[in-house]
Amino acid sequence: MARHVHSGRFLSKSAFLGVHLLIAVCLAAVGPLAAGAREKDEHFGLPEVKFINDQVAAGWSDAKLKPSEPASDQEWCRRVHLDIIGRVPTVRELDDYVADSSPVKRANLVGRLLGDDYVDEYARNWADVWTTVLVGRSLDNDNVNRSGMRQWLRRSFSKNVPYDRFVSDLVTATGVNKSGEKGFNGATNFLSGKLEDNGIQATAKTAQVFLGLQVQCTQCHNHPFNKGKQNQFWEFNAFFRQVRALRKFEGTRDVQAIELVDEDWAGEGGNAAQAELYYELRNGQMKVAYPVFIDGTTVDSTGYLPAKMDDGTEYGVNRRQALAQLIVDSPLMPKAAVNRIWSHFFGYGFTRPIDDLGEHNAPSHPELLDGLGERFRGQSFDTKELIRWITLSHAYSLSSRIGKGNATDDPAVGEKPKFSHFYLRQMRPEELYQSLLTATEADQAEEKGEKAARKKDEWLSQFIIAFGTDEGDEATTFNGSIPQVLMMFNGDLVKTATGTGKGGFLDRVATSDMTNAQRIDSLYAAALARKPTRKEIKLANQMMVARKGDAISALQDIWWAVLNSNEFIINH
Amino acid sequence: MSASSRFIDGMSRRHFMSHVAGAAALAAPATAFTNSILANAADLKKRHKSAILLWMGGGPSTMDIWDLKPGAATGGPFKPISTSADGIQICEHMPLMAQQMHHMSLVRSMSTREADHMRGRYYMHTGYVPNPNVEHPSYGAVIAHELADQVPDLEIPPFVSVGSGSVGPGFLGMSWAPFVVDSNGNVRNLDMGIDPTRLSQRLEMLSAIEEKFIGEKRGASSDDHAKVLSKTVKLMTSDQMESFKVMKEPKDVQDRYGNTGFGRGCLMARRLVEQGVPFVEVDLGGWDNHADIFKTLSDNKLPELDKAMAALVSDLSERGLLDDTAIIWMGEFSRTPNINGNAGRDHWARSWSVAVGGAGFKRGVVVGETSSDGKEVVTEPYSAQDLMASVLKSLDISLETTFTAKNGRPMKIANAGKVIKELFA
């Protein structure tokens, strides 16, 4: 047990045995019950869940893996709250779930989290996820209005807009990107910052996010490792040539808002009836490109938007609308969506990276990926249904504790994921932020909606590093490194969460009519969704003694330690 | 360390340590420190190797900086000037560096294949092309990992990145991750503001929770978290954090480096190297000049670069640090010899230059050559891994070193690149 950070004091054999013994007792108590519930209804009457279970299990038997035991009720409850609504459960939510004796309690909870009671939180969480996917986390892009983006996303997710319409709305959006302006359409923010340089970024990002195709390299040359060809990049790019970003300035410098409009495009050759663009091969030769989808489907090369001639004849094409239809009809679209959403829940998708579904990048579970994609389409792209199938799967119910039978299943070392145990992953910063509000019951007092979101953005900006390239590449130091730990140790967010002010969370715990033991229990439940161990209780009691009966100060110390632990920040 | 140094409510460091030392597992590094201050000061002055990477994010046009082609159709408007190194000419907008070129050498025969920002950034930092199944360690992680033993008393992270995030530690693990600071040397959230006894009690509680979770064998990230916690405690209580405080330098020194983010970053790099930090990366972005490149370079980027880099090289030399400190100047790739319709240059990896100097490098030489239009390397081409191998050699790091990636596969240091012989005497 040589771990270099731990002094001998904690490595005493008896202490360790004590912990293990306690866990063993807990497992013995919970085990049969959880297993029994599972046996009664393995897939909750949902054929899609059965499909996932069968496919994942086939992978286990191929690789001779023995899946981990089921997660405890508390662990599963914490996990599903974090993943669906982006925060840890409250003590009440946790107690309710544990107390529920229904054999389909998991299905009930998922149903609730996807239902009306949680619609705002669901929308907030998925708006956060998709804001990052669509426009990144950096705040200093004048051409993107994050609030506008987020408002649109929140609305889409609160109405559970089918995924095909969601994609189509983003790809074809026209209107003003800033809320409060006339003609506001927040969806325009996906493209508003990506249209410079003839829409190179719009091309690359649209292909990447919605089709799982990495085409950015083929802008300049045929791809050396896959089938991507330079002409495909520019033929895809041709779909973005009718759209223009009109900047509205405030004063002389600051962009106040951007309006996306579609206009007739005369092409680089000046002939709108056959509007073409040119690109340069590496040898300097110029080539021409018209709109062609990645599967070879061509679209009328006219640059005119749809209109009617005097005699009533219709002509013209809206290229972005044509593109949206081709994307939605493509078998790649549901696969890309399923892969992204699966990886949200499991930490890994079927491919790495998740937005590279090219032929050179074989997925870990090809039939499962294809089959889920088809079923997603069959379900009219109902994202909530897809989430229900995934969260009710056997794989999602497994413990993160690794056994002898599945120690080799470790994607962190580069193996293809087999999903035979739950993979640890750190909370996203947005999840941490929201969880701290929830755990300290500060969310009720917190501003709602966009005001709260902007506060979160500001907090988040301390972790964002922009690389200063044209493509807006960025990284985060919210990655388990020292700046993150310092923030958790000493940052304002945690200072507030551990504050002892009147009426605050700790004050309420300290002045409630609970016993000290119950107070400590409630802190552990709120942050870790479990009871403290005997050793932890002993340490907590020592803390009480050290603070000479100043209960709130002792609680503050305990609370600080709990919030700073690996167990809190890691979704397990 | 000065005896008067104080922190946390005016309590002395030693007093603090007496509280922390006996208390918590996480304070183990702090105990090590208490012992280390007993070691004599001469030990701290022991020679150590370091490297400073000047990272030019976005891909600078090296044929407008280090390898000019006056008169060629691709050459652009800049003129070459002679330098303090015999036979080396560089851009006229780098007059201060021109006086320092006898300390530096140029490799004009870099030829790589990654012309996408993120891929190129990864490749030049690690010597490996991106691979979805393995994360490779970057320069900073590798060098810190190999050289940290030379500076046992170092309490601040051995890999510091100023401004940019660099590239991560890959399979070497989060303890070798870059410590990212802004160019003013501000480190956020450093102060806890509670008394040390209480801190040590908190850490004791925390370490019990960490230990329990790790003991449950759920995967490596729970261990990683504990390791980083311990490093953080060490850093929070260290006087060596002073070396980040670049604003404490005399004003004339600050002026010499330039009142820019990059200037302050270079000055901080010098201070950190003096403190013993094995690897510092300083970022200067803004080289992705698809449009209007020449004005941007002459009015903006090159003066900023020239001032800071020249001050750094000359300071290291004057302070006797240059012989133990490697300097590497590079970006993820360079830019097209052909000038595009927007008076810019696009991405180009096939033929370009880097600058190196200090440590074991031969100074004042030019390696390799490009064609008259700059489009081809006409001598033996060198890769990212060759450059990395050369940098490691200049620091006396064995190229026989082999790491084991997390999947158990052996990984030769610097991807088994071959040393660029002309860079060594």
Same structural domain, B272 and B217: no
Q: Quick one: pLDDT band at residue A241, thresholds 50, 70, 90?
A: very high
> How many CB pairs below 8 Å do chains A and B form together?
224
Q: Across the interface, do B177 and A482 touch by the CB < 8 Å criterion?
A: yes
Q: Across the interface, do B179 and A481 touch by the CB < 8 Å criterion?
A: yes
Residues of B in contact with A564 (CB under 8 A): 206, 229
Greater pLDDT, B168 or B413: B413
Give the residue-averaged pLDDT of B13-33. 45
Residues of B in contact with A20 (CB under 8 A): 215
Q: Across the interface, do A482 and B179 touch by the CB < 8 Å criterion?
A: yes
Instruction: Judge whether residue B38 has pLDDT over 70.
Output: no
Measured between CA atoms, the residue of chain A closest to residue B191 is A490
Pick among B8, B125, B162, B211 to test the A interface (most A CBs inside 10 A): B211
Greater pLDDT, B180 or A260: A260
Same structural domain, B23 and B128: no
d(CA B231, CA B224): 11
Q: Beta B179-181 vs B410-412: how paired, if at all?
A: unpaired
Residues of B in contact with A562 (CB under 8 A): 209
Q: Beta B80-82 vs B89-91: how paired, if at all?
A: antiparallel
CB A287 within 8 A of CB A281: yes
Q: Quick one: pLDDT band at residue B187, thresholds 50, 70, 90?
A: confident
Does residue B97 form part of some domain?
yes
* Whole-number percent of chain A with pLDDT over 70: 88
**How far off is chain A from B202, nearest CA to CA, in Å?**
6
Q: Across the interface, do B223 and A3 touch by the CB < 8 Å criterion?
A: yes
pLDDT in tens, A108-156: 999 999 999 999 999 999 999 999 999 988 877 788 999 999 999 999 9
| Res B30: pLDDT | 43
Mean pLDDT across chain A: 88
Instruction: Return the minimum-mean-pLDDT range out of A469-483, A508-522, A524-538, B100-114.
Output: A469-483
Give the residue-averaged pLDDT of B137-164. 93
d(CA A333, CA A212): 8
Residues of B in contact with A487 (CB under 8 A): 188-189
Residues of B in contact with A200 (CB under 8 A): none
Pick among A565, A568, A572 to test the B interface (most B CBs inside 10 A): A565
Q: Residue B406 is part of a domain; what is its CATH number? A: 3.40.720.10
CB A172 within 8 A of CB A321: yes
Pick among A196, A481, A537, A544 to test the B interface (most B CBs inside 10 A): A481
DSSP labels for B189-210?
A: T----S-HHHHHHHHHHHHHHH
Looking at the structure of chain B, the number of domains it has is 2
Of B209, B218, B223, the CB nearest to A565: B209
Q: Which of B56, B65, B76, B68 is nearest to B344 (CA)?
A: B76
pLDDT in tens, A521-556: 999 999 999 999 999 999 999 999 999 889 999 999
Q: Across the interface, do A558 and B132 touch by the CB < 8 Å criterion?
A: no
Q: Across the interface, do A486 and B222 touch by the CB < 8 Å criterion?
A: no
Q: Across the interface, do A414 and B134 touch by the CB < 8 Å criterion?
A: yes
Does residue B403 form part of some domain?
yes
Question: What is the rounded (10 degree) CA torsion for B25, B26, B29, B33?
Answer: -90
| Res B46: pLDDT | 59
| Res B27: pLDDT | 46
Does residue B291 form part of some domain?
yes
Instruction: Judge whether residue B45 has pLDDT over 80.
Output: no
| A284 contacts chain B (CB < 8 A) | yes
Q: Which residues numbered 214-273 in A keep a CB inside 8 Å of some CB on B?
A: 216-217, 220-221, 224
Residues of A in contact with B189 (CB under 8 A): 483, 486-487, 489-491
Same structural domain, B258 and B326: yes
Q: Across the interface, do B24 and A570 touch by the CB < 8 Å criterion?
A: no
Instruction: Fill in the DSSP letter of residue A298.
Output: B
Same structural domain, B205 and B75: no
CB A421 within 8 A of CB A400: yes
Paired tokens of B254: 């600050």
Instruction: Return the minimum-mean-pLDDT range out of B42-46, B62-66, B159-163, B185-189.
Output: B42-46
Instruction: Judge whether residue B323 has pLDDT over 80.
Output: yes
Mean pLDDT across chain B: 88
Paired tokens of B185: 């040397």
Instruction: Judge whether residue B129 has pLDDT over 50.
Output: yes
| Res A403: pLDDT | 94
Residue with tokens 């992978």: A59
Q: Which of A121, A128, A129, A103 is nearest to A35 (CA)?
A: A103
Paired with A288 in beta bridges are A278
| Res A359: pLDDT | 84
**How far off is chain B from A44, nearest CA to CA, in Å?**
28
Of A16, A352, A487, the CB nearest to B133: A352
Instruction: Fill in the DSSP letter of residue B298.
Output: I
Same structural domain, B252 and B272: yes
H or E element at residue B348: strand B347-348
Pick among B221, B260, B281 to test the A interface (most A CBs inside 10 A): B221
Instruction: Judge whether residue B221 has pLDDT over 50.
Output: yes
The domain containing residue B257 runs over which residues?
Answer: 51-185+245-423
Residues of B in contact with A400 (CB under 8 A): 218-219
* Whole-number percent of chain B with pLDDT over 90: 70
Residues of B in contact with A540 (CB under 8 A): 205
Paired tokens of A539: 């340490």
Instruction: Return the minimum-mean-pLDDT range out of A119-133, A162-176, A477-491, B355-369.
Output: A477-491
| Res A208: pLDDT | 93
| Res A220: pLDDT | 63
Does residue B366 form part of some domain?
yes
Q: What angle do CA B10, B13, B15 make, to 5 degrees?
A: 85
Same structural domain, B179 and B202: no
Instruction: Judge whether residue B314 has pLDDT over 50.
Output: yes
Residue with tokens 């050498």: B105
Same structural domain, B235 and B250: no
Of A20, A467, A482, the CB nearest to B117: A467
Instruction: Judge whether residue A41 has pLDDT over 90.
Output: no
ipTM for this prediction: 0.85
For residue B111, how far is the Cα from the chain centroid? 22
- How far, CA to CA in Å, does A199 sit from each of A233, A295, A401, A465? 11, 21, 47, 24
Residues of B in contact with A3 (CB under 8 A): 211, 214, 223, 226
Greater pLDDT, A499 or A31: A499
Phi/psi region, residue A495 (left: phi>0; alpha: psi -120 to 50; beta: rest), is: alpha
- How far, CA to CA in Å, does A412 sit from each of A348, A352, B85? 9, 11, 48
Of A5, A400, A425, the CB nearest to B26: A5
**Strands, E, within A89-190: which ranges?**
175-176
d(CA B97, CA B104): 9
Same structural domain, B208 and B251: no
Amino acid at the residue A387: I
Same structural domain, B138 and B227: no
d(CA A523, CA A509): 9
Q: Across the interface, do B212 and A533 touch by the CB < 8 Å criterion?
A: yes
Note if the bond before B70 is cis, omega within 30 degrees: no
Greater pLDDT, B28 or B241: B241
- How far, CA to CA in Å, does B187 sit from each of A108, A498, A564, B13, B76? 46, 22, 19, 19, 42
| Res A222: pLDDT | 63
Residues of B in contact with A465 (CB under 8 A): 164-165, 180
Give the residue-averaged pLDDT of A32-56. 75
| Res B133: pLDDT | 73
Q: Quick one: pLDDT band at residue B13, thresholds 50, 70, 90?
A: very low
Give the residue-averaged pLDDT of B375-395. 97
Q: Across the interface, do B210 and A566 touch by the CB < 8 Å criterion?
A: yes
Does residue B260 form part of some domain?
yes
Same structural domain, B204 and B337: no
Q: Which residues numbered 158-187 in A keep a CB inside 8 Å of some CB on B?
A: none
Same structural domain, B404 and B328: yes
Residues of A in contact with B201 (CB under 8 A): 542-543, 546, 557
d(CA A494, CA B189): 11
Of A1, A5, A473, the CB nearest to B25: A5
Instruction: Judge whether residue A336 has pLDDT over 80.
Output: yes
Of B165, B188, B201, the CB nearest to A557: B201
Instruction: Return the minimum-mean-pLDDT range out of A21-25, A492-496, B136-140, B290-294.
Output: A21-25
Sequence-separated (6 or more) residues with CB below 8 Å from residue A17: none
Does residue B353 form part of some domain?
yes
Pick among B175, B183, B225 to test the A interface (most A CBs inside 10 A): B225
Instruction: Judge whether residue B305 has pLDDT over 90.
Output: yes
Q: Across the interface, do A482 and B232 touch by the CB < 8 Å criterion?
A: yes
Residues of B in contact with A557 (CB under 8 A): 198, 201-202, 205
Q: Quick one: pLDDT band at residue A480, thresholds 50, 70, 90?
A: confident
Does residue B3 form part of some domain?
no
| Res A452: pLDDT | 84
Give the residue-averaged pLDDT of A275-292. 88
For residue B150, how far is the Cα from the chain centroid? 17
Same structural domain, B276 and B317: yes
pLDDT in tens, A439-468: 887 766 656 778 888 888 888 888 887 766
Give the residue-averaged pLDDT of A322-351. 97
CB B263 within 8 A of CB B317: no
Instruction: Judge whether residue A275 has pLDDT over 60.
Output: yes
d(CA B320, CA B324): 8
**How far off is chain B from A350, nearest CA to CA, in Å?**
12
Pick among B204, B212, B277 to test the A interface (most A CBs inside 10 A): B212
Q: Across the interface, do B207 and A485 touch by the CB < 8 Å criterion?
A: no
Does residue B5 form part of some domain?
no
Give the residue-averaged pLDDT of B293-313. 98
d(CA A438, CA A444): 8
| Res B257: pLDDT | 98
Of A16, A473, A489, the CB nearest to B232: A489
**Whole-angstrom Cα Rg for chain A:** 26
Residues of A in contact with B178 (CB under 8 A): 481
Paired tokens of B252: 């004339």
Greater pLDDT, A466 or A161: A161
pLDDT in tens, A81-102: 999 999 999 999 999 999 999 9
pLDDT in tens, A46-63: 999 999 999 999 999 999
Per DSSP, the three-state class of A568 is helix
Sequence-separated (6 or more) residues with CB below 8 Å from residue A310: none
